[in-house]
Chain A
């Protein structure tokens, strides 16, 4: 049984957001509830990994990297299809968020493969792009196929199940040595989008690159995330879902809960644990299904908490 690393959940003062450091979590499953603004987390066994309660639930899928292939990760289309099948085998989520890197190289055949797997799934899927989806054409191919509901620059919001969802794009115009960025125009959109909303409305914000600095030397963070978080500070329940780093890392800062998802294609090393962030090279045989997976999130009715469960594709 893996153990979570020591962390400081629920001890943060909501008024202080000065140290957005990373927190590692290594586990087979994670149940995470936010009750009355006080987040709590607990490791759960896979036997318990079921959507708690009834009502509204949604799922997160990330980093399918269709088109990627190495001997160790030789069929990412198959593992991604497995992830979708797993989602459909349980209580069907009301909707699915794909947090980017749908494809590996933004190539037409890869977008076709994505439509084959996601488009025919029967699931309602909302996408934001990863940097691998906007290569060479500034995202034109991606937005044509997966930009439904989004403006031309890829950001949008919608309401479902009593939750306000906001999809952001932090993968454009990355600068040398820099992190992800939202940019002034997108921050203005966020400000206007939130302005007239009640502070008691649960917010789920999703974007590809983490909105806190997980590991700056690898570019795992968003340089103007602080400004976005400032706009969210008055809300009582904020859940931020990201991908990009192909592993589960979660953190709680005041009323804001951060969570990154596993990939459905290949795992990446823990921040700074190897010379480069390239795919894990020494994965023991037979462990692939334990390092790929999906995330389910439920809104537990009545108390406005969200519960998050990460489920690997297998043990």
Chain B
């Protein structure tokens, strides 16, 4: 019972490393954003033009991905556990997005 929060905390520390690593410019044609425990990880992702970004839901709760722009640039359907959504960024810019089910979940993709 008491082991769980510590287990959780060490996981979060692990994500911190993933975030620091992924926040660097990614040259690959694809990049992944993991969704777990009501977080987009990394919350800030930098990619080059033409990159396909994949959001993968590993949480037990469903989430979706909606761009904040009006009109929306991308919009996923709700992703159950294990489901994914991908979008290819063809133009430079900063693309904010959030989860429409849990609007406090936010992230952004910087395309350079």
List chain A positions with a Cβ less than 8 A from chain B.
70, 104-106, 131-132, 135-136, 174-179, 217-219, 274-279, 281-282, 284
Contact = CB atoms under 8 A, between A and B. Distances in A.
Given A131-B101, A177-B103, A219-B103, 20 more contacts: A70-B60, A104-B62, A106-B78, A131-B100, A132-B101, A135-B100, A136-B64, A136-B77, A174-B100, A174-B101, A177-B98, A177-B104, A177-B106, A179-B103, A219-B104, A276-B38, A278-B60, A279-B60, A281-B8, A282-B1
Contacts, number: 67
14 contacts: A106-B78, A132-B62, A135-B64, A135-B101, A174-B103, A177-B98, A217-B104, A275-B37, A275-B38, A278-B37, A278-B38, A279-B60, A279-B61, A284-B1
Which residue, of B1, B60, B98, B104, has the highest number of chain A Cβ atoms within 10 A?
B104
Interface of B: 1, 4-5, 8, 12, 37-39, 59-62, 64, 66, 68, 77-78, 80, 96-98, 100-104, 106
A178 B60 contact: no
A282 B80 contact: no
Given A136-B77, A175-B103, A278 B61 contact: yes
Which residue, of B60, B77, B98, has the highest number of chain A Cβ atoms within 10 A?
B60
Nearest to B98: A176
B77 A282 contact: no
Question: Do most interface residues of chain B lie in helix, strand or loop, or is the interface mixed?
Answer: loop
Contact of A105 (B8, B80, B102, B104): B80
Contacts of B38: 275-278
Nearest to A282: B4
Instruction: Give the top 8 A-B pairs by smallest Cβ distance, nearest first.
Output: A176-B98, A276-B38, A135-B78, A174-B103, A219-B104, A282-B4, A276-B37, A176-B68
Nearest to A276: B38
Nearest to A220: B104
Which residue, of B8, B38, B103, has the highest number of chain A Cβ atoms within 10 A?
B103
Contact of B96 (A176, A179, A278, A284): A176
Contacts of B103: 174-179, 219
Contacts of B60: 70, 278-279
A104 B80 CA distance: 10
A279 B104 CA distance: 16
